[in-house]
Amino acid sequence: MLKGYLAVFNNKDYSGEKFIKGTFAKSIKERGPDSLAKAKILFLNQHKQSQPLAQFAILKEDDYGLYFESKPLDNVDWANDVLTQVKSGTLNQLSVGFLPVWDKAYYDETDDSIVFAESMLFEGSVVTFGDNPETHFVKSLAEDATLLQETENFVNSLPQSTQIEARKLFQIYKTLGDHEPFKACLDEIKAALKEAKPSEVKQKGIDYQYLLTHL
């Protein structure tokens, strides 16, 4: 099972286009995982109709973008390859296969983009390079014991006066990580790291780069 964001709202992509909240609502209602449609929106590998990965268990819009959770990936070669490469981090981009409803599209001169207020969504895909680099998989902290231990070691390495604040930030991340964007929280943690004096941080063999990369 994989989960993440297939699209990001209010974010201009490399093609000069952007989606806004509501653009996929009609498609999800008509052909989403909770619909009675026979031809439902599918999870594919690299937009290839010949390489379906799984059906969607959850497909919904939130304030950040188009969030998904797949059903367990089918036991086929390409799905097993994808799962291996997602776990390693080689694949960490997503994309949507869609057709715009042009009479619901408009030009936004503030950032020179074409805005799609409604789109016909057919599939979501794992891709090597996404048109919008802000798409990403969401990983549960509970599923990664190594990261949990790194987090605990990291907090313990901070000056005692800042440990409470650090734990609060990580708790926010744990609460929001599975369903909401956590970039702001991560930025706060990185900012705190930059401000910390090297002499105040105890060295315990912690891989700080691993921690920041995997949050």
CB atoms within 10 A of CB 178: 15
**pLDDT tens over the chain, length 215 residues:** 899 999 999 999 999 999 999 999 999 999 999 999 999 999 999 999 999 999 999 999 999 999 999 999 999 999 999 999 998 889 999 999 999 999 999 999 999 999 999 999 999 999 999 999 889 998 754 444 455 556 667 777 888 777 777 766 665 555 454 444 455 555 666 566 566 555 444 444 445 554 555 55
What is the rounded distance in angstroms from the CA atom of residue 203 to the CA atom of residue 35?
A: 53
The model scores a pTM over 0.85: no
Show me where the domains of the chain are located: 3-137, 141-214
Distance of alpha carbon 165 from alpha carbon 197, whole angstroms:
16
- The DSSP line for 38-61 is SS--EEEETTEEEEEEEEEEEEEE
54: which residues sit within 8 A by CB, 6+ positions away? Answer: 1, 2, 42, 43, 70, 71, 72, 73, 74, 79
